Structure 1
Amino acid sequence: MVLYIKDFMIRNMTSVSDCDTLEYAIELMQKAQMNVLPVVDNENIYLGSIYSRNLLKNILPEEYGYLESVRLLHNVNQAANNLHEIRRKLVKDYMSKKVIALKDSDEMKHVAEIMLKNKESVLFITNKIGRLRGYINRGDLLYYLLKAGE
């Protein structure tokens, strides 16, 4: 039995425009509890994604990971100051444009291949003309695998 993405994808989602500010995108990420948001134009054409990890890499004073406890407060303050300086910049300057999007008519087996190969926790789904339709996450992938095994 062939199973399609449109039967597993989540259709309700939050997106941002490439002309929105980083501040707005960060607020939406927090409200939607998402680490990545799709970026669309005014016709809902998928343009790319804005990742929280990319924003963090841009504002942390040194590569994040283990920080010495005596330096932690200084680094947090520096990151907050750096973010304050760029918060009004536009999403288009920080978004990833080379992001794989799948079509809602694609088979679900492609999700596993792409998600695991690219270490993505979320893949965005478009229709045949590139309009954003939804997303698939790892939980949806697990559900598909459960159903495929029946």
Structure 2
Amino acid sequence: MKQKVADYMTRNVITLKPDDTVEDAIRIIEKTGHDGFPVVDKDGRLVGYVSSMDLLRKDLNAKISDVMTRSLYVAREYMDLRDAARVMFRTGHSKLPVVDDKGRIKGIITNTDIIRSQIERADPSKVSKLKETIEKVHGTKVRVYNGEVEVDRLIPTQTKIYADELRGRIYELRRGLAEPVVVIKKGGKMFLVDGHHRAVAAKKIGMDRLDAYILEVPENVELGMEKLVRKKKIKSIRDIEVIEDVPHPLVEITFKNSK
């Protein structure tokens, strides 16, 4: 289960049209803070890319089609993430538009996404290991598939999260990043195994559903996490405490003497 571009690319991509002007592009840069945008035609096909450097000293009324770069490197959703990283490293690009077989824009993959993929906790290999563990411990078969889950149906298996990490997850979700949570489905219950910060972030910004790796187990299997849920009386995402004054344990803050 290799990591694919589709697993980490940003899907909500801000684009420009060839007939937009340099002034339009500058206005969007000022609003979003992004330093470049794919250019698409009326059918959503990628026809170019414009960066902030392309806009320097250009007439504000100039068309994007006159200043954009037309020769582009692109990625595909099914592409191995490592191959996309190699292309970016060898060409010096910090991001690649992601297109389908008809050239239509589907997302964008950045060097930040590549880095995130190396530290992300919820990935296909982890799901595979969890599946194998459940099957060995309980002597049963586990079905694994991708799908969407309703945030309000999730039953947490941890009681606390950290505010600093939560803010990062909110930022990621608003950018449309595609990191899935990990859920064990047993009958009508959905136990959240991994992705508590993201689930709470989704609740806070009004997202009803999340992408998920779903592991479906038979109803007669007694999971250890069920005992924890009963003991802690955890019923929903609302029962998770957000710790405000303590940084995430993986974050180290250093202070240098100014003298």
| Partner residue, 1:95 | 68
Which structure has greater helix proportion?
Answer: 1
| Partner residue, 1:40 | 40
- State the TM-score, normalized to the length of structure 1: 0.75
SS at match of 1:17: coil
- State the TM-score, normalized to the length of structure 2: 0.45
Runs of 4+ in 1 over 6 A off after TM superposition: none
Question: For the residues of structure 1 that align with 2:112 and 2:83, how far apart are their CA atoms?
Answer: 15
- State the shift of 1:2 in Å: 1.4
Question: For the residues of structure 1 that align with 2:72 and 2:43, how far apart are their CA atoms?
Answer: 19
Unmatched runs of 5 consecutive residues or more in structure 1: 60-82
| Partner residue, 1:2 | 2
SS at match of 1:135: strand
SS at match of 1:42: coil
Deviations 1:6-50 (A, max 9, x none): 111111121000111110011112222111100000010011100
Deviations 1:36-83 (A, max 9, x none): 100000010011100111222xx2xxxxxxxxxxxxxxxxxxxxxxx4
Contact 1:36 1:52 in 2 (8 A): yes
Aligned AA (2:38) = P
Contact 1:105 1:127 in 2 (8 A): no
> Identity over aligned residues, as a percent?
24
1:118 paired with 2:58, answer no
- Within a 5 Å distance, the mapping from 1:1-150 to structure 2 comes to 1-56=1-56, 59=57, 83=58, 86-147=59-120
Unmatched runs of 5 consecutive residues or more in structure 2: 127-259
Question: For the residues of structure 1 that align with 2:90 and 2:27, how far apart are their CA atoms?
Answer: 30
Which structure has greater strand proportion?
Answer: 2
SS at match of 2:101: coil
Deviations 1:85-129 (A, max 9, x none): x11110000000011111112111122111111222221111121
Which structure is higher in RCO with an 8 Å CA cutoff and minimum separation 6?
A: 1
Aligned AA (2:94) = S
